[in-house]
Structure 1
Amino acid sequence: MSLLQLPVRPGASRHAVGRAAGPWGTLARVERGPDEGGAPRSAESLLSDVARGDDSAFAALYDALGRGVFGTCLGVLRDPDHAAEVAQEVWVEVWRTAARFDSVRGSARTWTLTLAHRRAVDRVRAVQAQRDRDQRVLDGSTEREFDVVADEVESALEQVRVRDCLGTLTPTQKQAVVLAYYGGRTYREVADELAAPLPTVKTRIRDGLLRLRDCLGVTS
């Protein structure tokens, strides 16, 4: 790749830098020109310079180890998009923590790929934890597709008042509620139409109906 983004440390060199906002604060956009002559530098040497804020060394290190980092992430995550996201996080970590590298404990490649493997495993655990939370929500929900909240809204108030109160919902809640409440779709059908996870859709519909009930003054 010829274009990288990395957070700038105080005192780091800035060649061909254009500032842009990003989730890590100030970002430096580094464009590399043609490689200069000379023998390739070792990853250890490059990492040492990265620790001193040398963005050109960072670019060279990325060229040397980028495929290995992505491959390590992909091997754990089995999803190219997730692997690309985690690889980006790994390179941000390399930029920020290069000074922690100790050549006595192993090579620069091993150190970098270990970071990649650890990050990828953390992502797997985070995704699994979210799935477990979603499953607990599903397991704790009632078997009826639309519970008593929906019944109260439908039976107690006129359609026009419901439409007025739809304006109090968030856009995502309104979209899900309209499909379910007016379109007569099940949770699964709404999830398929919105291309959203079923637990997320169930939460949007229930929260939206609760807000409708409050707006319309329905009491339990």
Structure 2
Amino acid sequence: MRQSVFIGGNPADRPDLVALMEQVTKGDEQAFGQLYESVAGPAFGVVRAVVRDVAQSEEVTQEVLVEMWRRAADYRSERGSVMNWVLTLAHRRAVDRVRSVAAATEREERVALRDRLPEFDVTEAEVEARQEREDVLRCLEALTVLQRESITLAYYQGLTYREVAERLSTSLGTVKTRMRDGLIRLRDCLGVAA
């Protein structure tokens, strides 16, 4: 059963797209020209609705029509009309273009962001961290034993003031005072502004 597509006007004036497709399959360029004239407008409409940009829509439509020429043998009339086949090709190609443009834009934004971010020097960061640790250890050694033990238990082992007092068998008030005095001495030793 042959299918014909009629787009306005007298149906007798419209070409039989299935017959044209059969001729295109055999390499008939004249049949392709007629088929092209029949489907180019609707294909462009579908592409334009998805892509939006006129220039890109024209480019995608050309790609679709070239694909129609190359894949004419893939068309199966039992699956639907020639027009539906071409419009499906057009829609798929248009969606691919939109995704491709979106991915390219995202890549460009990542590159631009990366170019704006300062370079991170891992070696320099490691050297700075090691120097800071050495400075803290040196300054901890300058504290009294009770200050050093209180601060170590609280900041390195995560104990509360009460737990530090229990661990050191000292009153809570004494631990708080020693830690405050010790932290002030650490700050001064490390040269940190108050």
CA shift, 1:138, in A, is 1.8
Output one character per residue of 1:67-89: Cα deviation in whole Å (capped at 9) or x when no partner.
00111110100011000000110
SS at match of 1:104: helix
CA distance, structure 2, for counterparts of residue 139 and residue 57 of structure 1: 52
Q: Does 1:125 align with 2:99?
A: yes
Please give the alpha-carbon distance, in whole angstroms, between the structure 2 residues aligned to 1:86 and 1:40: 25
Tell me the equivalent position of 1:53: 27
Tell me the distance in 2 between the aligned counterparts of 1:99 and 1:75: 27
> Who is 1:90 aligned against?
64
Measured after TM superposition, the shift of residue 143 of structure 1 is: 5.1
Larger radius of gyration: 2
Alignment partner of 1:53: what SS? Answer: coil
| CA distance in structure 2 between the partners assigned to 1:87 and 1:45 by the alignment | 22
Q: Which has the higher strand share?
A: 1
Of Structure 1 and Structure 2, which has the larger fraction of its residues in helix? 2
Pairwise CA RMSD of aligned residues?
1.7
Q: What are the equivalent positions in structure 2 for 1:20-31 lying under 5 Å apart?
A: none
Q: Tell me the TM-score normalised to structure 2 length.
A: 0.53
5+ residue gaps, structure 2:
1-11, 120-194
- Could you list the structure 1 runs, at least 4 aligned residues long, displaced by more than 3 angstroms after superposition: none
Q: Which residue of the partner structure matches residue 102 of structure 1?
A: 76
Deviations 1:147-167 (A, max 9, x none): 9xxxxxxxxxxxxxxxxxxxx
Match of 2:43 in 1: 69
TM-score normalized with structure 1 length: 0.47
Instruction: Give distance in 2, aligned partners of 1:117 and 1:40.
Output: 24
For structure 1, the residue ranges without an aligned partner over 5 or more in a row are 1-37, 148-220
> Which residue is 1:5 aligned to?
none
After TM superposition, give the deviation of residue 39 of structure 1 in Å: 5.0
Corresponding residue to 1:114 among 88, 91, 104: 88
